[in-house]
């Protein structure tokens, strides 16, 4: 069924508005009325296009999860040299989350309040591709750097923690910076973090299991 112009436009407007509201408020606190208002249309049109709040949310969630997931995992799929990759990772990802600061907390919060949704949609992805990609491209480098083969998930989680956590806890970090005399703002802090995190990780893996 091909959609005509006006239909496409309205559906698109609703979808954009829904992404904004859900990401900002979370599922439970989001209001259909607010989504309608932001889309500049009538509330009942939401149901016309997406049937229910649940279904609208599901489409939005899947879209945002993929956006986040591909970003987070992307770097591990590249096959540049390790250190270059790490530096690039922290640059790119921090920049990305500066554009999407609510994305991490949205994804993590919704998933912990409803794990079924995650399993339903993303339970059947072939994650071995990622593993093989990481291990295939980098197994050699990793052991060279002293990361044990069985520790690759620990390593991945460690790398992404350093960027995702500060965004997820943005308000706490901001308060902390304010109250301890950091003169610049959160954005500057995260810009500095691009370098700090890179050096931290590179220094760590250079000397793992080699004391």
Instruction: Tell me which residues touch a copy of itself (CB under 8 A).
Output: 25-29, 102, 105, 108-109, 111-113, 115, 118-119, 122-123, 125-128, 130-131, 151, 153-154, 157-158, 160-162, 164-166, 168-173, 175-177, 179-182, 189, 192-193, 196-197, 199-201, 203-209, 211
Q: How far is the CB of 140 from a copy of itself (least distance, A)?
A: 19
**Residue 24 lies near DNA (rule: CB under 7 A):** no
| Cα separation values, 88 from 1, 74, 80, 83, 95, Å | 43, 11, 10, 9, 11
Output 6 or 124, the one with its CB closest to DNA.
6
Q: How many residues bind DNA (CB under 7 A)?
A: 20
Q: Which does 96 bind (CB under 5 to 8 A by kind): DNA, a copy of itself, none?
A: none
In what helix (H) or strand (E) does residue 103 lie, and over which residues does it extend?
helix 103-113
User: Around Cβ 2, how many Cβ atoms within 10 Å?
Assistant: 5
Residue 23, judged by CB atoms within 10 A of its CB (0-12, 13-18, 19+), counts as: buried
Q: How far is the CB of 89 from a copy of itself (least distance, A)?
A: 15
**81: helix, strand or coil:** coil
Q: In the structure, how many helices (H) and strands (E) does the chain have?
A: 11, 0
* Nearest residue to 38 via CA among 22, 18, 59: 18
Query: Footprint of DNA on residues 32-61 (CB under 7 A)?
Result: 32-33, 41-45, 47-48, 51-54
Q: How far is the CB of 54 from DNA (least distance, A)?
A: 6
Site residues (vs DNA, CB under 7 A): 3-4, 6-7, 10, 30-33, 41-45, 47-48, 51-54
């Amino acid at each position: 069924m091909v959609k005509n112009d006006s239909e496409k436009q309205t559906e698109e407007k609703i979808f954009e508005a829904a992404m904004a509201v859900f990401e900002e408020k979370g599922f439970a606190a989001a209001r259909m009325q607010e989504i309608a208002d932001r889309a500049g249309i009538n509330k009942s049109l939401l149901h016309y296009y997406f049937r229910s709040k649940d279904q609208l949310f599901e489409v939005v969630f899947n879209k945002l999860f993929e956006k986040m997931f591909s970003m987070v995992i992307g770097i591990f799929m590249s096959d540049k040299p390790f250190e270059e990759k790490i530096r690039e990772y922290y640059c790119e990802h921090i920049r990305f989350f500066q554009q999407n600061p609510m994305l991490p907390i949205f994804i993590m919060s919704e998933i912990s309040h409803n794990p079924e949704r995650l399993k339903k949609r993303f339970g059947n992805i072939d994650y071995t591709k990622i593993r093989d990609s990481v291990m295939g491209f980098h197994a050699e480098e990793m052991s060279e750097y002293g990361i044990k083969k069985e520790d690759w998930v620990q390593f991945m989680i460690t790398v992404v923690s350093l960027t995702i956590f500060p965004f997820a806890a943005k308000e706490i970090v901001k308060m902390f910076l304010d109250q301890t005399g950091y003169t610049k703002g959160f954005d500057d802090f995260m810009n500095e973090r691009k370098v700090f995190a890179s050096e931290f990780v590179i220094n760590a893996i250079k000397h793992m299991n080699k004391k």
